[in-house]
Structure 1
Amino acid sequence: MVNIGDIIFQILMLLILIGGAGIIIAFIIGVKRLIQRQGANEKRLQRIEQRLDDMLKNKES
């Protein structure tokens, strides 16, 4: 006969493993989004710098 306590323990361990995997996946997705956002910010800064350079060149000429 199977012990009910063992079954409950096995189910709990499985749920903990699934939760841990979910946390790791969520962390990886968060890091990817941060990297993408950082890239977008850098592109925006480059466009602003380009505009400022253009404005300075127009003033000088």
Structure 2
Amino acid sequence: MTVLHLRPNTWLRRITDRWELIKVTNVHQDGQVDLLLLDGTRTHVPISFLRGAFERADDGA
């Protein structure tokens, strides 16, 4: 299992048939993560959705 150390302003990436890049804007105590997509869309997902699918894309990875 991939361990993601998430905090606001962390960039995450996933490479499938295309690049996907998302920015973490907030991490909630209940396990929800607020995200900003490159097209400007804001959404939230459970942290379990991100584990194993995304990796850190910033220099701190």
What TM-score do the two structures reach when normalised by structure 2?
0.16
More strand by share: 2
Bigger relative CO (Cα 8 Å, ≥ 6 apart): 2
More helix by share: 1
